[in-house]
Every structure is written in C-alpha cells, then in structure tokens.
Amino acid sequence: MSNTTTTGAVSPGDAKKVSRINEVVIRIAGNSQDGIQAIGGFLARLAGRSEQEVMTFMTIPSTISGGPSIFQVRIGSGEVLTSGDDADVLLCFYQHSYEGHINSLKKKGIVLYDSDHVVPKPEWQDAYHHVGIPISSLTVEAIGGTAKDKGKNLYSLGLIAKMFDLNVPKLEKLLGERFTGKDPSILNNALAAFHAGYANSPGNVVETFQITDSDKKGVSQVVMNGNEAIAYGLIAAGVRFGAAYPITPWTDIMEILRRELPKYGGTFIQCEDEIASVSMALGASFAGRVAVTGSSGPGIALKTEAIGWAVMAEMPLVIINVQRGGPSTGMPTNIEQSDLNIAINGGHGDAPRVVLAPANVEDCFYMAIEAVNIARKYSVPVFFLTDQGIATRIEAFPSPDLEKVCQDITPDFTPVATHKPYDLTAKDGVTQHIKPGTRILDGKYPIATGLEHDEYGHPSGSPKVHMLQNAKRRIKLQALGASLPLPKVYGPAEGKTLLVGWGSTEGPIREAVDRFRAAGDSVSALHLRHVNPLPNGLENIFSGFSQVLVVEMNDEGLYGFGQLGSILRARYCDPKIQGVNKTDGLTWKVKEIVELVKSKTAK
C-alpha cells in the first residue's frame, strides 16, 4: 500500500480511520480446492471494471487434487508492472498458509486468518497486524452446514470488500455473471456468504482503505490472463484450425480454441500425441490457412522434427510454447525461460525460424496476430514463447477495437499460370505456397517437401541447390530482421547499466529500473519481443552503456550466460554483456533483480 494519506472518516457514523491508497497487494493462501483463484479473479475483474490497473500471480500444485495454492492480486490506480514483491494483506486459511506465507507480508502488514484453523504465533504479533476471524464457522452460520468449504472464499471476499471499500453492486453483478444459469440457490448462497463477510466488521481492524480513482477514467477494459489473450488473438488473426495434445500450462489455450473456434466455422483437434498435432496443423496450413499448434516443455521437444520440415518446406505455422521448468518433466507448474534455445535451434540441420516473446497479457493478444502475419508473409514457422507466469496472470487492458483488428485470411483459389513454390529469384527469398484446389495452367504442380528440392519442390541432391535454398531460407529471415522496429530504451538512452530482458519479465525489470533511478543509480532497460531474428541496430543501443546485463529466468550455463545472453554475446562479441539469472521457478521479484544487479555492478 503505497502513498498512504489519511483523510479521516468518510461516513460520519463510522469512527474508524479510512486511508486513501493508490495501490494494494493482497495475497490469498489456502489449498487448491478452496476457490482462492475465484476470489482473485473477482478482484481482478472488479479492478478492470473500475478502470484500475491490475496484475495477479498464482501458484498451483501439480498434484491432481489438493495441495497449497496461492493467489496474489495487485490493484492500483497508477501503472502496475508486477504482481508485487510483498503483500499488504495476507489472507490465510490454514496453519501452513499462515506459516508459509508470513514472510511475503510487509512488516506491519495485515494478516487476516481463519481462526478456526490458524493458531497465531506470539513471536509474530509485533511484526504483523493480526486479525483473526472464524471464517469457516461464520460461513457455515451464514449458508448452512453442508457447503462450508464452498462458501468461505466468498465470505472472505466480503471481508476484503469491506476492508477496501470495494464497489459492492459491481461485485454482486460479477457474482451473478459467474453463477448465471446454474441452480439459483447457488447464486443465493454465494451472495449470502459474500454479504455475511461484508457485514462482519473485523473487530480489531482499525483501518479501512479506499483505493484512489484511476487516471484512466472512461477507458473500457477487458480482463483476462495470458493464455486467454493468446487464444483470442489467434481467432482475431483469422486462424481457424489448430491441433494439440494436452499439457500443462498450455492446455487452457487448446480448451478455449476447441470451444470457441466452431463459432467461426473453424475447428481444433485434440490429437493422439504431440507429433500428430504439429503434423495435423501443418497439413491444415498446407491445405488452407496458417494453423496453430502449441505445447509446453517436453511436448515442444517432440514436435521439433516436424518443425524442421516446416522450415524446409517453407510452411507457415504458429507454435505456442508456454514454457515451464525443465528439462524433462521438470517443474510443470513453475516458471522458467529456458526454452529459448530449443525455439531458436531445436531440431537438426540449419533451420532458421522466427521466435517472438510477448511482454505482458495485452501483448499476448496483439503479438499472436503478428505471429500469424509473419508466418503468412515469410512462409515460416513462428515460435511464440510465453511462460507459466504470463499464462495464468490476469491483467486489465483497453478493449481492442475488434472491427479493425480482426482479419479475414480466407485462402485465394484463383488459377495461376505457373507456380514455383521455392523460386530462387524471389525478392528477399520470400515465397508463398498456393493452396490445393488452385489450378495451375501450365500443368506443373508443386510438392511441399522435406527433401532438399528445386524450385518446384522436386528432390535435388545438387550441392549448388542446397547452398542456394539454404541461403533463401536464411535471407528471408534476415529481411524480416531488417524490417523490425528497434525497441525503445526504458529510461535514458545512455548511462552506466542497461538491463536487457525478453518475454514476460518486462514488468519487474522496469520496476527495478524505477527503484534504481529513484535511488540515483544510472540504470535503463531494453526489452526484446522479437528474439529471432533480432532487430538490427541493438549494438548502437548497447554502445550507450558501459555494462549490459541480460536478465533471464534460466540457468547461467556452462560459460556464465543465460540463453539470450549467449546469443547476444555471440552476435555482438561484446565482453560488457553479462548475465543475471535465476532458476527458482518463480517470477522475478523486483528486489531480487535489484540485488543481483547490484552484485554484478559492484565488481
């Protein structure tokens, strides 16, 4: 809770202190079946509707049922870049939630605990403001004995709503939408639990809070997580076919597309395995329009042979990779940026492909469209690297102008006089396939092939042809690289230290820069969203700094550099490029970046 200003009581009848704050971080800790994601979701959605900025963070166990789970939500009226290092309020349902998460609470923060299950520790009483409420038994009292585990999340939502003076009619509406169409008694129970919590004035809480109005008044926002933004971005881009195999944390995207694509006349196929799914998507790309497949971790490894075919055959394809902790089965529900190498180089042979990495949830939506368009224009597979963190984190962003953004990419079957799918004279090496169903008047039909081939796609073992076609596949990506915009430096364009990041880490890196600059340190940041090919001219940005630190959630490697760090070292041969890495499976905390950067700059 920053910039707290006490303004006194708002209502004459309420003697308690009311503080105006411009942001708050709430962490809810319980077990995975307690519905804590639902509370977080309601809070995030409410923030979106109140034109506030919001970001969430959650962890889920990879076990089938049960296990500790948390949801953290940061709501603010100014810019929110991360889900927050430390919480202002910790709501905990069990002893293990209390003991396991007290360290994530700011000193003097409020710990709101279920006194039916939690016995507070005397030694923590001074450091944190303890508020015990028998949440479980009061929920039973409110809605009856049978549903006690179901309702306590909503009872708690009521408590939080009261504490932060949240908009009750808007929350009631959200509850109504959530429980719509179900048995009306379910909604009634939900509302009863919520109101019981709201009515319970937390006895020894002396303060309540009001989040100040946002400066974004009048901006209509949508609230969703990264996986949802990708799925809807693909639909907006005109993708109408996809195929995949379930794997965490990619699965949400395939579930959404399976459910949504039929509305648009498209279809999504659940395949027998990862290889079948990339193959089926390639078949659909060959037959009509660019298709999508996706996976996480091990599934991506299985797809690499077919992706090599897509490079060789020059077939457009979008591959979503929601990264998780690896190698092998690794840490399925944790966060890591360790698939950059496989995205850029996975598979055998010289197989250049495009790799994009969205920086936030809004970017997931727009960059999915960009991925589709690059795949189409350059006839190339495009990797789309997100991670478990961005997949499940909820953000609010301005509603896209869908009429403008949505594309119709229905294939064209107009007959052509002649067609060379691998024309070596094409400008920048860029060619496109015509689709089956298209008549070719000279009667010479093309073959899409994984063998090295002549300009019509027929096999060739000629050394010269292999060199020319290799060059074609390379040159077209060099042309793409030359067309990419140079990313803007966050902070001054010259200084001592430049932090370079990619993908989902943009928020914490920027917040780290803000902290450094507030303390008078010369630190700026550069964020790469186009990772392969890189935009041209990065060396000119690097030359403005005496140190370039590549901040990544992957291992420092055998030689001291993370995966992007190694690429930048190889490309720019610049010893001032160094790595800042971690592999704890959790999102960056701002203070972690600050500390690691300090340790590197101190040398």
Partner 1 sequence: MSQILSDKPVVPAAVTETATGERKGLTKKEIAADHPTWCPGCGDFSVLALYFKLIEKRKLWHEKITTISGIGCSSRFPYFVQAHGAHFIHGRALPFASGVSLSRPDLHVFAFSGDGDAFSIGGNHFTHTARKNIKMTLVVMDNQVYGLTKKQTSPTSPLGFKSKTDIWGAVDYPINPAKQAIAVGASFVARTSAANPNHVLAMMEAAMDHDGFSFVHCLSECVEFYEGAFDVANPRKGGAFNEVPKNHDVTDELAAYKLAGADFPGNFGVLYKVNKPTKNAREAEINASFQSKFTGLKDWQILQKTFDRMK
Site for partner 1 in 447-466 (CB under 8 A): 447-451, 458-459
Widest pairwise Cα distance in the chain: 89
Q: Who's near 30: CB < 8 A, 6+ residues apart?
A: 36, 68, 69, 70, 92, 93, 94, 97, 153
175 or 596: whose CB is closer to partner 1? 175
Q: Is 228 in the site for partner 1 (CB under 8 A)?
A: yes
Residue that has been written with the tokens 């950059």 in this structure: 340
Q: Is 372 in the site for partner 1 (CB under 8 A)?
A: no
- Reported in sequence order, the residue ranges of 45-176 that DSSP labels E, i.e. its strands, are 53-59, 68-76, 87-92, 105-114, 129-133
Whole-number minimum distance, CB 220 to partner 1, in Å? 7
240 or 324: whose CB is closer to partner 1? 240
User: What is the full DSSP assignment across 460-515?
Assistant: ---HHHHHHHHHHHHHHHHHHHHHSPPPPEES-SSEEEEEEEEGGGHHHHHHHHHH
Q: Is 399 in the site for partner 1 (CB under 8 A)?
A: yes
Whole-number minimum distance, CB 47 to partner 1, in Å? 12
Whole-number minimum distance, CB 257 to partner 1, in Å? 12
Q: Which of 58, 243, 367, 499 binds partner 1 (CB under 8 A)?
A: 243
119 or 287: whose CB is closer to partner 1? 287
Whole-number minimum distance, CB 239 to partner 1, in Å? 10
Residues numbered 255 to 314 that lie near partner 1 (CB under 8 A) are 260, 262-267, 269, 271-273, 275-277, 279-289, 291, 305-306, 309, 313
Buried b (16+ CB within 10 A) or exposed e, 422-454: beeeeeebbbebbeeebeeeeeeebebbbebbb
> Binding string, 191-220, against partner 1, x = CB under 8 A?
-----------------------------x
Q: Is 414 in the site for partner 1 (CB under 8 A)?
A: yes
* Three-class DSSP category at 99: helix
> Binding string, 79-108, against partner 1, x = CB under 8 A?
------------------------------
Q: State the number of binding residues for partner 1 (CB under 8 A).
A: 76
Q: Is 222 in the site for partner 1 (CB under 8 A)?
A: yes
Whole-number minimum distance, CB 178 to partner 1, in Å? 11
Q: Quick one: which of 379, 300, 292 has its CA closest to 340?
A: 300
User: What is the full DSSP assignment across 193-227?
Assistant: HHHHHHHS--TT--EEEEEPPPTTTT--EEEEEHH
Whole-number minimum distance, CB 225 to partner 1, in Å? 10
> Are the beta carbons of 454 and 445 closer than 8 angstroms?
no
Q: Quick one: which of 233, 235, 254 has its CA closest to 243?
A: 254
Choose the binding region for partner 1 from 87-95, 124-132, 133-141, 445-453 (rule: CB under 8 A).
445-453
Residues numbered 141 to 180 that lie near partner 1 (CB under 8 A) are 177
User: What is the full DSSP assignment across 497-510?
Assistant: EEEEEEGGGHHHHH
Q: Is 49 in the site for partner 1 (CB under 8 A)?
A: yes
